[in-house]
Structure 1
Amino acid sequence: MKKRFSWLLGFSAFVCLLLAACGQERSTSSSASKGAASVDSWPEELHIGYQKSSFSLFLKEKGYLEKQLQKHGVQVKWFEFQSGPPLLEALNSGQIDIGYVGGAPAILAQANPHSQLAYIAYEPEVARAIIVPKTSSIHTVADLKGKKVAFGKGSSAHYTLLTALETAGLTLNDITPVYLQPAEARTAFERGDVDAWVIWDPFLADAEVNGGARILIDANRLPKQYGFIVARNQYVKQYTNVAKTVIDQLNRVHQEIHSSPDEAAKLLAKETKIDAAVWKRTLSRRGYGVFPLTKEVIAAQQRIADQFYKAGLVSKRVNVNEAVVVVKEEQKTK
């Protein structure tokens, strides 16, 4: 009886050791799987920030991104912003993961001590200009001295104004800045509350077609400023596949708009409440495509950083290269 009892105790101990070993092996395997899935995996959600002036709106309405990402269980949520600075505030605070902005606001976001910004691709320039009423006595940039000029603080228009004033030997101290978002600036411009307005398409085209505006100087005569697809640094490094998908689908809509501008203008007019004629003008004077960052583009962005530091808009020197994240090297450059 004692032998039988001893045998049972020994067998039970063996079974326990065997189960413990199996459990440890599953645990180790599970941990390894989690570790392997931490890079190039798929998140539960993607939060995208967009502006009505960007082609991200077209992508949103077409639903291409949702169709691609739902295959991997990723839910896409869209958040609208009037301009780049508030969009980037949301990015730095973790409210959005990816978005499109102009070069100038990206520099301000990168200068933030808690910056989360990563540059992942760029788009060609969007038309920007300083405009005045058609009947205005202002005919040169030098004539802006002492005048009220409306623009979005920290926006691409801000840099346009700085570089334009520089051509006439002026600075912001020579004018009266009026910091307004596009909707408020349009109202102030039409009421005559400001003498000039610095703005980008499609708001620029709308002011030309419907707002009685005349271009004083456009960005074609000034240093280049590109648009950027930006992302939260940690997010894009962990979910590289998501970033690649966003870039692919944005490039897809660029080509679709370029090949069928009239149809694109109708859709964009419907969603923005801005006339199709305005969108046709906008689409006719911009470049198309989404590209990996080049030395030329990074250099142009660095010039903005240096200009903003010189103007006291950022308190430290910004090195653009430090925020560049390559997510798709195989794309063909422009």
Structure 2
Amino acid sequence: MKKKNQLLAFGVMAALLAGVFTGCGSTASENIKTEEENITASNGELKEINIGFVDTSGANILLGTEGVARDQGYFEEEFAKIGFKANLVPMAGAGPAINEALAAGSLDIGILGDVPAVNGKSNGIETTVISFSGLNNTVVVLGNPDSNIKTVADLKGKKVATQKGAFMHRILTYILESEGLTIDDIEFVNLPAQDALAALETGSVDATVTQPSDVTYRLVQENGYDEVIFSRDHEGWSSGGMSEIRNDFLEQYPETAVAFLTAFVRANEYIENNPDALKEQWVAAGYKAESYDYSYPNHDNYATIEATEDVVENAKNTLKFLQENDLTDGDFDVDEWYDLSYYERAKAEYKGE
């Protein structure tokens, strides 16, 4: 079945999955195959690779390093070199939808947050992490003006909306713990980001925990909503994301991981040489320049790629959070999950080493 048909059918395929998968990819040096027939289709046409990313806006908005790689044509160029056509697939269902598509085989690479990525791995989806985004995801707790929520302590007994199992949920637990509270002390309302903000505006919930955005900026600066707390002001209250590739696809086409990461390397180089690139990207998506400074005051919404000690520790803490909150009963070794050798090869080849 062709990839485009798989995309239409991944929901059905996911429902048919049974069993648990284990194991991780080998290193790039072990896996890289040079035979031409493993890269190009027998009829000379480009093979296809489907790369899913989170897009809850429904407007095909892709920001950060991956957005630059798409918009500057780096994905297209790097994959074409090895006989592939890259399809960037927006996933309105966010991380959980990416997990389903990876499990079904209708996506080959997923760019998603740490919580759904770790959750998917702990539940048996065979993937290898080839890039980390860093720890640049934060949350803001907004209160409806009519609910009189000025502090974290005021959340007790209130209806608080966020998406269960998402990184916002994890950071919410840290926020509540800072005031001696738990999830049981609030009325937790499980809603995805867009619905949570809509519920806040209609007054059906008292507060929401969400990523800072153009919408949250408007609500605070223009509509008088209460900014109860911003996680960026507290050490350890941030989250990250990662790019992961299906192990079976990686084993068959290891050059695709190198091509993907070369596009990332080129995108980060572009960002470094154009300091306003990420802000301009934000504005081009239809958002206010002021809301970018509000959301990312350090202008750091790009992928750091490296497996630094803090991002690895964050992944381990994410697994612990999922287990302690009965969101998974699975387990795995985080240190065996990621493989940055493809990144090292991408850097070396791009620099001509």
Give the TM-score range, shorter chain: 0.7 to 0.9
Question: How far off is 1:48 after superposition?
Answer: 0.8
**Conserved? CA contact 1:255–1:289, under 8 Å:** no
Can you list the C-alpha shifts for 1:127-164, whole angstroms capped at 9, x where unaligned? Answer: 32222245652222222121111112222111111222
Query: Unmatched 5+ residue regions in structure 2?
Result: 1-32, 42-46, 55-60, 349-353
Give the alignment's TM-score, normalised by structure 1: 0.77
Letter in 1 for 2:50: H
Q: 1:38 to 1:157 in 2, by over 3 A?
A: farther
2:87 aligned residue: 77
**Cα distance in 2, alignment partners of residues 54 and 154 from structure 1:** 23
Query: Which structure is higher in helix share?
Result: 1
Can you list the C-alpha shifts for 1:89-132, whole angstroms capped at 9, x where unaligned? Answer: 2222211111221211112111223x123211111222322222
Question: How far off is 1:285 after superposition?
Answer: 3.0
1:121 aligned residue: 131
Counterpart among 72, 95, 106 of residue 95 in structure 1: 106
Letter in 2 for 1:179: N
Question: How far off is 1:80 after superposition?
Answer: 0.7
Query: Unmatched 5+ residue regions in structure 1?
Result: 1-34
Aligned identity (percent) is 26
**Conserved? CA contact 1:102–1:226, under 8 Å:** yes
**Cα distance in 2, alignment partners of residues 89 and 210 from structure 1:** 38
1:238 aligned residue: 252
1:179 aligned residue: 190
Correspondences of 1:203-242 after superposition (within 5 Å): 204-205=216-217, 207-209=219-221, 212-220=224-232, 221-223=234-236, 224-242=238-256
**Cα distance in 1, alignment partners of residues 294 and 270 from structure 2:** 17
Can you list the C-alpha shifts for 1:35-84, whole angstroms capped at 9, x where unaligned? Answer: 86499846711111123364223432322210222122201112112322
Correspondences of 1:244-263 after superposition (within 5 Å): 244-257=258-271, 259-260=273-274, 262=276
1:68 and 2:75 aligned: no
Alignment length, in residue pairs?
Answer: 296
Can you list the C-alpha shifts for 1:152-191, whole angstroms capped at 9, x where unaligned? Answer: 2222111111222222222222222222222222211211
1:144 aligned residue: 155
1:46 aligned residue: 49
- Secondary structure of the residue aligned to 2:52 is strand
1:156 and 2:167 aligned: yes
Q: 1:40 to 1:241 in 2, by over 3 A?
A: farther
**Cα distance in 1, alignment partners of residues 256 and 159 from structure 2:** 44
Question: How far off is 1:212 after superposition?
Answer: 4.1
**Cα distance in 2, alignment partners of residues 160 and 242 from structure 1:** 34
**Cα distance in 1, alignment partners of residues 222 and 38 from structure 2:** 47
**Conserved? CA contact 1:188–1:194, under 8 Å:** yes
Q: 1:259 to 1:328 in 2, by over 3 A?
A: closer
- Secondary structure of the residue aligned to 2:310 is helix
2:118 aligned residue: 107
2:298 aligned residue: 285
**Cα distance in 2, alignment partners of residues 71 and 147 from structure 1:** 55
Q: 1:311 to 1:258 in 2, by over 3 A?
A: same
Give the alignment's TM-score, normalised by structure 2: 0.73
Letter in 2 for 1:282: S
- Secondary structure of the residue aligned to 2:130 is strand
**Cα distance in 2, alignment partners of residues 236 and 117 from structure 1:** 9
**Conserved? CA contact 2:127–2:245, under 8 Å:** yes
**Cα distance in 2, alignment partners of residues 307 and 42 from structure 1:** 43
